[in-house]
Amino acid sequence: MLAACAWIAGTAATAFAGDDARPLLDKFKERDRTDRHWTDRVQSVSFDVHDGAGSREKALRLFEKRAGDGSRKLLARVMDPASQRGLGILLDVAPNGAGKQWLYRPAFKRTQELGDGFREKGIVDSDLTHDDLELVTVLPGWGAADAESHRRGSEPVDGEICDVIDLEPTGKGKRVPYKRITIWLGQNDVLVHQLEFSLDGTVPTKRITQTGFKNVGRVPVAHDIKVETLGEKSTSTDIKVTHADFDIGIGDECFNQSTLADPGKDSVACGETSK
Q: What share of the chain is helix, strand, coil (3-state, %, to 5)?
A: 20, 45, 35
pLDDT surpasses 60 at 5? no
Q: Summarize pLDDT for 130-143 with one digit per residue, the tens.
A: 999 888 887 766 76
Three-state DSSP state, 254: helix
Residue range 4-262, CATH number: 2.50.20.10
Rounded distance, CA 102 to CA 111, Å? Answer: 7
Which amino acid belongs to residue 31? Answer: R
Q: Are 181 and 188 in contact (CB under 8 A)?
A: no
Domain ranges of the chain: 4-262
- Enter the pTM of the model: 0.89
Is the per-residue pLDDT at 84 higher than 90? yes
Output the average pLDDT for the chain: 87
Task: Identify the three-state secondary structure at position 265.
Answer: helix
Integer Cα distance of 163 and 80 in angstroms: 38
Q: What is the pLDDT of residues 36-48, one digit of tens each?
A: 999 999 999 999 9
The residues, ordered by sequence, that sit 6+ positions from 34 with a Cβ below 8 Å of its Cβ are none
Distance CA(29)–CA(38), nearest Å, equals 13
Task: Place 233 in a pLDDT band, splitting at 50, 70 and 90.
Answer: confident
Rounded CA-CA distance 36/99 in Å is 24
